[in-house]
Amino acid sequence: MIEIGSLTSNSEFGSWYVVFEYVKTGHIHDDDQNLSAEELLSSYIRGTEEDNRELDPEYRTHITGWEIEPTYDKTKHQLVYSHPDPC
């Protein structure tokens, strides 16, 4: 995650700030329509379990499955998916 900008205000009505961040999440080609939800989930679980090794047990999370299985939206050129909150 890279911070690319911020806005701040200290007006008579109160103070606030906004931080803009960029997260490089990857690229999916329009012609790559054979996505494997199982492979993506397996990769996500492996990464989470690797992160868990460095955490105390009370801070570990466990991924159980998809809330919305991944699909590619051709009209928006984006991958749409959602997993449940980690437990």
| pLDDT tens readout for residues 27-64 | 677 676 677 888 888 988 999 999 999 999 999 988 88
Which one is predicted more confidently, 83 or 26?
83
Instruction: Using the predicted structure, report yes or no on whether residue 65 has a pLDDT greater than 80.
Output: yes
CA–CA separation, 31 and 36 (whole Å):
14
pTM of the model: 0.54
Q: In this predicted structure, what is the pLDDT of residue 12?
A: 87
Q: How would DSSP label each residue in 50-78?
A: HHHTTS-GGG-------SEEEEEETTTTE
Residue 53 token pair: 């090794």
Backbone angles phi, psi at 41, to 5 degrees: -65, -45
Whose structure tokens read 């009505």?
13
Neighbours of 14 (CB within 10 A): 7
Taking 70 as the threshold, does the pLDDT of residue 6 lie above it?
yes
Q: Specify the pLDDT at position 15.
A: 92
